[in-house]
A and B are shown apart, each in its own frame.
Chain A
């Protein structure tokens, strides 16, 4: 590069680098703190104030208490069910819609697209949706978490754009060989659009994993609670009592604190572990979405 750096530019680049490092610290440190605190000795962490750079003392009782808690285990199991089942429904429905709407020369496709886009700008709102789910008899059943959000219109549009990019000639030659739309969709279009489909799986699955609001609205039966709703009780409403019944009264308060940290780690671990591998897909998805404006 023939451009010589001026003094101002050098100062800027130093400040910029420092700012970026600060951003990384501010982003990562809270997680490290929680990790160290969860591994610490409950009595010590209860007295400890300040920044942690390693666990104070070492104690796995909190993890044991969390793993022994039936609500955490049910929550985990339920969440896995909602993630797998919900994502499967999402993917199936979105693929159907994206395939049908990506076909050319289908008379009603434009009107149906319009009908879908309208729902992105205007919706009935919380109460009518709640009453609808209620009147369909889905209240307090897993269906309430799986069906009302079966398709994200935004994802449908992204997938449709990707399907449209598959060369028409492939489809035509399959048709000459006698393939119908179902075969063309499942054997040609979907396999050729795997990158987009991978992104969709990730987005939908992370959405199901993290969601708590629909469960809060639609579920009363604690046996059906997803992990996030259990977490809400432990972290926000601050009720760790159910997990500390065995401990003595003074220990109970102390271990309650480490239990909170251990719960955060256990519930975030799957995403933290997968994150480095999935990161490029996450980004890829935003970029596909950005192309279509």
Chain B
């Protein structure tokens, strides 16, 4: 009896897989043009996104250019061990996290605050003008922005002249390790505050106006309205962007730091991604820096999953 039963089950699953296969075949024939259109797109993703993921195995190999990815010998976790034991390890971790935490504390709320303040402006011409001007720096290349910073914040530059007028000693802003994080984060705010506020303004404009009418009848002033209607209305947007920020935390802007830092400020400016750039691209130490990069990606991945699940638990807003 059990035999017979198994047979029945077998034919049933075979039937199902047969059906599935014929369905797939029919789909491919019917949608052949769509699959043809997809072909270059798929090739792009496989080569340029999954290719590097395959290449990540060199983090566990003694990679030699002559041997290539496949033939280089496995060495296990040696690269990771030597990174964790590296003299600079804690410095890199500290710098990476501190820059990110400062961005989260100051740059992230800045756009939200700007959106709230813009929302309080009644004259629409003035509001539009402020918006237009504040978006502008977003479209200036980072090379130009850092170039202007180097000029304005030089020891004999414009900013030191203004500080001198109120009696302060000149500071070499770009050479001072203690100021690097401040310079990095504040220039980021200058460049991104307006652009970042667009999405929050959109969220505000989607709030039901009758809520405000009701609050006003209940005697709520503008401050109470902001606190109890506008902010909660922006919450989903804020949370989603916060989660996304958490995920990109460790992969933070190596391109801007590479322009901004110099050996004098390495102590506070050098982050994991700039270290990978220096050691890997300039120093050609590929296996080791691939391991450092992998460590970076894994931590980012954990952070984004963590942020998402915390947010799911405390606020029911989530990315997935």
Residues of A bordering B, CB below 8 Å: 3, 6, 8-9, 12-13, 16-17, 19-20, 23-24, 26-28, 30, 33-34, 49-51, 93, 96-97, 99-101, 103, 105-108, 112, 115-116, 119, 121-132, 135-136, 147-148, 150-151, 180-182, 185, 206, 209-213, 216-217, 228, 231-232, 234-236, 260, 264, 267-268, 271, 275-276, 279, 282-283, 286-287, 289-290, 293
Contacts and interface: CB of A to CB of B under 8 A. Distances in A.
A16 B113 CA distance: 11
B4 interface: no
Interface string B102-142: 00000000000010011011100010011011111101111
Given A20-B130, A121-B247, A128-B52, A6 B221 contact: yes
A124 B142 contact: no
A120 B27 CA distance: 28
Contacts of A271: 139-140
20 contacts: A13-B120, A20-B121, A24-B133, A93-B41, A105-B31, A107-B23, A121-B301, A125-B52, A126-B276, A127-B281, A128-B52, A128-B53, A128-B55, A128-B56, A148-B48, A185-B37, A210-B142, A210-B143, A217-B281, A267-B144
A148 B49 CA distance: 9
A232 B156 contact: no
Interface residues of B, number: 93
A99 B37 contact: yes
Which 5 pairs, one residue from A and one from B, show the smallest C-beta to C-beta distance? A124-B52, A235-B147, A128-B55, A125-B293, A210-B141
A234 B195 CA distance: 28
Given A27-B136, A51-B162, A271-B139, A96 B147 contact: no
Contacts of B281: 126-127, 130, 217
B158 interface: yes
A235 B143 contact: yes
A93 B44 contact: yes
A130 B69 CA distance: 13
Given A28-B133, A150-B44, A264 B38 contact: no
Nearest to B113: A19
A195 B147 CA distance: 34
Contacts of A206: 139
Interface of B: 23-24, 27-28, 31, 33-35, 37-38, 40-42, 44-45, 47-56, 58, 68-69, 114, 117-118, 120-122, 126, 129-130, 132-137, 139-144, 146-148, 150-152, 156, 158, 161-162, 190, 193-195, 198-199, 202-203, 216, 221-223, 236-237, 240, 247, 254-255, 258-259, 273, 276-277, 280-281, 286, 289-290, 293-294, 296-297, 301, 304
Given A130-B280, A235-B147, 15 more contacts: A19-B117, A28-B136, A34-B148, A105-B31, A108-B35, A112-B38, A115-B45, A127-B276, A181-B34, A210-B140, A217-B277, A235-B144, A279-B132, A286-B195, A286-B198
A289 to B, nearest CB: 8
Contacts of B120: 12-13, 16
Which of B34, B150, B161, B236 has the largest number of chain A CB atoms within 10 A?
Answer: B34
A260 B147 contact: yes
Nearest to B262: A236
B160 to A, nearest CB: 9
A34 B194 CA distance: 21
Contacts of B49: 119, 123-124
Nearest to A230: B143
A131 B286 contact: yes
